[in-house]
A and B are shown apart, each in its own frame.
Chain A
Amino acid sequence: MFPSQFTYHRAASVAEAVELLNGNEGAKLLAGGHSLLPMMKLRLASPPTLVDIGQVAELKGVSADGDGVRIGALTTHAEIAGSALVQERAPVLAEAASRVGDPAVRNRGTIGGNVAHGDPQSDLPTVLTALGATINAAGQNGERGIAAADFFTGLLENALDDGEIVTSVSVPGVASGAGTAYVKFSHPASRYSVVGAAAIVSVANGVCSSASVVVGGVESTPTRAASVEAALAGSGVGADALAAAASAVSGDFQGDAMGDVYASSEYRQAMAGVYVRRALEAAVARGG
Chain B
Amino acid sequence: MTTRSFGSGIRRREDPRLITGKAPYTDDIKLPGMVHAAILRSPHAHANIKSIDTSAAASQPGVVAVYTGADTDGVLAGMPCAWLIPGSDLKTPEHPAIAKDRVRYVGDAVAVVVAGTRYEAEDALEHIEVEYETLGVVINPKAAAQPGAAQLHDDVENNIAFTWAVAGGDADAAFAAADVTVSDTITLPRLIANPMEPRSAVASYMAAMGELTLWSTSQNPHIARFLTSVVTGVPEHKIRVIAPEVGGGFGSKIPYYPDEAITAFCAMKLGVPVKWTETRSENYLATTQGRDHVEEVEMAATSDGTITGLRTTVYAGMGAYLSTAAPGVPTILHGLMYSGAYNIPNISGTIYGVFNNGTPVDAYRGAGRPEATTLIERLVDLTAAALDMDPAEFRRKNLIPKFENGHDVATGIIYDSGDYELTLNTCLANADYEGLRAAQAAARAEGRLVGIGMATWVEICGLGPSQVAGAVGFQGGLWESAIVRFHPTGKVNVMVGSSPHGQGEETTFAQIVSEELGVPVEDVEIIHGDTDNTPMGWGTYGSRTTVVSGGAIAFASRKIKEKSKELAAHLLEAAVEDIEYDDGRFFVRGSDDQAKTIQDIALMANVAWSMPEGMEPGLEASAFYDPPNFTYPFGTHLAVVEVNAETGHIDLQNYWAVDDCGVQINPMIVEGQVHGGVVQGVGPALWEGVVYDDNGQPLTGTMQDYALPRADLLPDINVASTTTPSPHHPLGLKGVGEAGTIAATPTVYNAVMDALRPLGVNRVDMPLTPEKVWRAINDAKNGG
A residues adjacent to B (C-beta < 8 A): 1-2, 4-5, 38, 42-43, 185, 187-190, 192, 260-264, 267, 270-271, 274
Contact = CB atoms under 8 A, between A and B. Distances in A.
Interface string B140-157: 000000000000000000
Contacts of A38: 704
B122 A263 contact: no
Contacts of B122: 2
A261 B771 CA distance: 10
B398 interface: no
Interface in B678-737: 687, 691, 699-700, 702-708, 710, 713
Contacts of A5: 119, 123
Given A2-B122, A262-B771, A267-B771, A188 B710 contact: yes
B303 interface: no
B119 to A, nearest CB: 6
Q: A5, A43, A188: which has the most chain B beta carbons within 10 Å? A: A188
A261 B710 contact: no
A16 to B, nearest CB: 28
B774 A2 contact: no
Contacts of B704: 38, 187, 189-190, 192
B281 A1 contact: yes
Interface in B640-697: 646-647, 687, 691
Contact of A185 (B126, B647, B702): B647
A181 B224 CA distance: 57
A190 B774 contact: no
B279 interface: yes
B710 A4 contact: no
A38 B710 CA distance: 21
Given A185-B647, A188-B710, A263 B119 contact: no
Given A262-B771, A267-B771, A2 B705 contact: no
17 contacts: A1-B281, A2-B119, A2-B122, A2-B279, A4-B126, A43-B126, A187-B704, A188-B687, A188-B713, A189-B703, A189-B707, A190-B704, A190-B705, A192-B704, A261-B691, A270-B774, A274-B647
Given A187-B707, A188-B707, A267-B771, 18 more contacts: A1-B280, A1-B282, A2-B119, A2-B279, A5-B123, A185-B647, A185-B770, A188-B713, A189-B703, A189-B704, A189-B705, A190-B704, A261-B699, A261-B705, A262-B705, A262-B707, A267-B775, A271-B647
Interface string B118-136: 1100110010000000000
A43 B282 CA distance: 13
A267 B769 CA distance: 12
Contacts of B647: 185, 271, 274
B518 to A, nearest CB: 48
A185 B771 CA distance: 12
Contacts of B123: 4-5
A264 B267 CA distance: 48
Interface residues of A: mostly helix, strand, loop or mixed?
A: loop
Q: B122, B281, B699, B771: which has the most chain A beta carbons within 10 Å? A: B771
B771 A263 contact: yes
A192 B707 CA distance: 12
A188 B691 CA distance: 15
Contact of B771 (A1, A2, A192, A264): A264
A192 B704 CA distance: 9
Given A5-B119, A185-B647, A188-B713, A42 B281 contact: yes
A5 B62 CA distance: 13
A193 to B, nearest CB: 13
A8 to B, nearest CB: 14
A262 B771 CA distance: 8
A189 B279 CA distance: 19
Contacts of A188: 687, 707, 710, 713
Contacts of B282: 1
A271 B706 CA distance: 21
Contacts of A192: 704
B38 to A, nearest CB: 8
Contacts of B700: 261
Contacts of A189: 687, 703-708
Nearest to A267: B771
A58 B700 CA distance: 40
A71 B282 CA distance: 39
A43 B704 CA distance: 16
Contacts of A4: 123, 126
Nearest to A270: B774
A140 to B, nearest CB: 33
Contacts of B699: 260-261
Contacts of B775: 267
A71 to B, nearest CB: 26
A38 B774 CA distance: 32
A4 B119 CA distance: 8
A226 to B, nearest CB: 24
A187 B706 CA distance: 10
A169 B531 CA distance: 61
Interface string B741-784: 00000000000000000000000000001110011000000000
Nearest to A5: B123
Interface in B276-301: 279-282
Nearest to B709: A188
A221 B700 CA distance: 24
A5 B123 CA distance: 8
Given A189-B706, A264-B771, A2 B713 contact: no
B684 to A, nearest CB: 13
A270 to B, nearest CB: 7
A189 B194 CA distance: 13
Nearest to B772: A267
A205 to B, nearest CB: 31
Given A190-B705, A274-B646, A262 B769 contact: yes
A187 B710 CA distance: 12
A189 B689 CA distance: 12
